[in-house]
Amino acid sequence: MCVDCIKGKQTKHTKKGATRSTQLFEIIHTDICDPFDVNSFNKEKYFITFIDDFSRYGHVYLLHEKSQSVNALEVYINEVERQLDRKVKIVRSDRGGEYYGRYDESGQHPGPFAKFLEKRGICAQYTMPGTPQQNGVSERRNRTLMDMGSELLTILINLQILDCELIINKYVTI
């Protein structure tokens, strides 16, 4: 294959209009990941991520059900605001029911997540429905965590087997 052929097949994705924040906790990206194939040790099925737009530092909280997202948000905001003496200004998420609330014929009914943000004076930004790429920071982090998790699970199982074998070998020779 020639160099021109390779360059011709490469794609360049530029994100227009997306500017990164200039301070810590100016924008927090969040998303809840779909249920795990395997439950965690405490039987949690979901996890929620909170990622700072400026530093890209992330926090992960395990959840039994999606309705616990408000509790996780409250813990996260209290922790980062007290630790770093800065206020969270914007929380960006998808339009999932756990964040946005429900809409019916009588209008929008904000969910507990939206009510909590409003009570704290934090601006809620929502992506357009059906466009996960607009919430790309969180979506990429969730995919990375899921990929790493499955790899680590395989490694841990192999390590447990090796550890058992080492323990057996050690005590059998004594």
CATH number of 20-172: 3.30.420.10
Handedness of CA 135, 137, 141, 147 (dihedral sign): positive
**Averaged over 7-27, what is the pLDDT?**
70
Percentage of residues of the chain with pLDDT beyond 90: 23
31, two tokens: 């998303």
**Averaged over 66-75, what is the pLDDT?**
92
Closest to 134 (Cα-Cα) out of 40, 15, 52 = 15
Q: What is the pLDDT of residue 21?
A: 86
Name the amino acid, one letter, at 22: T
Residue 93 has pLDDT above 80, yes or no: yes
Strand ranges (E), 9-89: 27-33, 46-52, 58-63
- The per-residue pLDDT for range 37-48, each reduced to its tens digit, is 766 667 788 888
**pLDDT higher for 6 or 125?**
125
- The per-residue pLDDT for range 21-37, each reduced to its tens digit, is 889 999 999 888 877 77
- The per-residue pLDDT for range 115-171, each reduced to its tens digit, is 899 999 999 888 776 666 666 787 778 777 777 776 666 666 566 666 655 665 565
Residue 3 has pLDDT above 70, yes or no: no
Q: How far apart are CA 33 and CA 65, in angstroms?
A: 11
User: At 1, is the pLDDT very low, low, confident or very high (cuts 50, 70, 90)?
Assistant: low
10, two tokens: 């490469």
Q: What is the pLDDT of residue 13?
A: 54
Q: Where are the domains of the chain?
A: 20-172
Q: What is the pLDDT of residue 78?
A: 95
Q: How far apart are CA 80 and CA 89, in angstroms?
A: 12
Average per-residue pLDDT in the chain? 77
